Amino acid sequence: MPQLPPGDPVPRDGALPASALGSMREETFSLYLHVPFCSVRCGYCDFNTYTLTELGDETGASLDTWVDGVAAELDLAVRVLTADGGALPVVDTVFVGGGTPSLLGAEDLGRALEVVRERFAVAEDLEVTTEANPDQVDEEFAWGLAEAGYTRMSVGMQSAVPHVLATLDRTHDPANVERAVEAGRAAGLAVSVDLIHGTPGESLVDWRASVEAAIALRPDHVSAYALTIEEGTALHRRVARGELPEPDEDDQADKYELADDLLGAAGYGWYEVSNWARTEAGRCRHNEHYWDGGHWWGVGPGAHSHVGGVRFWNVKHPRAWAQRLSTGVTPAAAREVLTAEQVTEERVMLGIRRREGLALDDVPAEGRGAVAALIGDGLLEGVPAVRDRRLVLTRRGRLLADLVMGRLLGL
């Protein structure tokens, strides 16, 4: 599990600079709620998660007390965000991630959304998403989410092939993915499914089967990510011991192109390098908010926030998070004020990955000279994108997005 990055100290009350609060109010605002609990830890995952047996039933470190901790951190957020006497921002999206949020059940997930509404004004078209393990989704769960005000459910499918799931240490029954998607749709929720390609031992035939299985479910949204072997994970240790091969970049590129072909033929359009939606309304507005450099408060152990050019992150362990909140002290471990160079770098890095592309005016002077060559190399679209002063990746460019980003930054 990765360590938190170094940063500057945070005042005990979590206070932010007045300049950050002022700029925050000019735009929409989002909340991310992190659920750190899992039944088992998947071998590829390096997220800030803990199994229930690891944590026991201590205050702040159990399913029963998580919502209370969320309420306490939101109370602190309200104090911090209104410290200058200004109004609270209107919340446009809420995303509950993890971990395994569905372990909480629909009732507690509903309580979490209720405490949000008690403290913040929310947009009329509020988007509320939760991630869910397909084994924990049935009609009662899905209807409970919808009645509580959730609008989207993201189902962790990963693969339709049993041996691939076993390599990833995923324990869900592949047959339950269909049940989960159907339950979500019947309850009126928009449904997304998540896939991972490039797992050691996964053939191109296996990957085709997974993508076709996902398409057959007719979800509103599909995310497909290339597997990365993160240091410190069980999968990393297996690769290091030679038990499994490292993912092959050419194989992952072939699988990306196959997914794009299959999804495109089924009516899904890419709107970010790893994300496809059946309609414009099916896009995940919460993630788009991140990619736009928006403002959000991350609630929960290890959650990261960005408010008015200040990024801060919470202590990782649920017990430490709860203890700080119980004494009125911010759970933030450290923070940084973004420099103009960092803002530019992130705008390029995130903007170039989107279908709408990156505004040419957002490219720093040292990178503009690379634009013509990137078009010539077939990595950026030419006319009419250039006429609109937008830089848009071709499909080949999507496969080499990091290279394109580096050249645009003059690296």
Give the DSSP letter string of 138-204. -HHHHHHHHHHT--EEEEEEE-S-HHHHHHTT--S-THHHHHHHHHHHHTT-EEEEEEEE--TT--H
Are the beta carbons of 271 and 277 closer than 8 angstroms? yes
Q: Contact, 233 vs 44, CB < 8 A?
A: yes
Evaluate if residue 352 carries a pLDDT over 90.
Answer: yes
Confidence of residue 5 (pLDDT cuts 50, 70, 90): confident
Q: Could you count the other beta carbons within 10 Å of the beta carbon of residue 313?
A: 22
Residue 253 scores a pLDDT above 80: yes
What mean pLDDT is predicted for residues 14-41? Answer: 92
Contact 180, 158 (CB under 8 A): no
Average pLDDT over the chain, rounded to whole? 94
Residue 131 near residue 103, CB atoms below 8 Å: no
pTM for the full predicted model: 0.96
Question: What is the rounded average pLDDT of the residues 65-75?
Answer: 96
Smallest CA-to-CA distance from 60 within 303, 319, 298, 314 is with 319
Q: What is the pLDDT of residue 61?
A: 64
- The answer to whether the CB of 115 falls within 8 A of the CB of 149 is no
So where are the chain's domains?
Answer: 8-292, 339-410
| Predicted local distance difference test score (pLDDT) of residue 268 | 98
For residues 358 and 390, the answer to whether their CB atoms sit within 8 Å is yes
Looking at 3.30.70.360, 3.90.1150.10, 3.80.30.20, 3.90.550.10, the CATH number of the domain 8-292 comes to 3.80.30.20
pLDDT of 59 over the 70 cut: no
Distance (Å, rounded) from C-alpha 266 to C-alpha 208? Answer: 13
Mean pLDDT of 237-266: 96
| Kind plus residue range of the DSSP H or E element containing 324 | helix 318-326
Binning pLDDT at 50, 70 and 90, where does residue 57 land?
A: low
What does residue 168 show for φ and ψ, rounded to 5 degrees? -80, -5
pLDDT in tens, 157-187: 999 999 999 999 999 999 999 999 999 999 9
How far apart are alpha carbons 337 and 311 in whole angstroms? 6
Pair 323, 350: CB distance under 8 Å = no
Which of 173, 160, 290, 284 lies closest to 222 in space, CA to CA? 284
Residue 45: count other Cβ atoms within 10 Å of its Cβ.
Answer: 18
User: What pLDDT score was predicted for residue 58?
Assistant: 57
Angle at 261 between CA 255 and CA 266, to 5 degrees: 125
Q: Are 277 and 285 in contact (CB under 8 A)?
A: no
Per-residue tokens: 38: 């899992």
Identity of the amino acid at 247: P
Nearest C-alpha neighbor of 305 from the set 326, 328, 336: 336
pLDDT at 60 over 70: no
Nearest to 325 by CA among 21, 18, 130, 66: 66
Cα separation of 159 and 213, whole Å? 9
Q: Express as a percent the part of the chain with pLDDT over 70.
A: 98
Cα separation, 172 vs 161, in Å, equals: 11
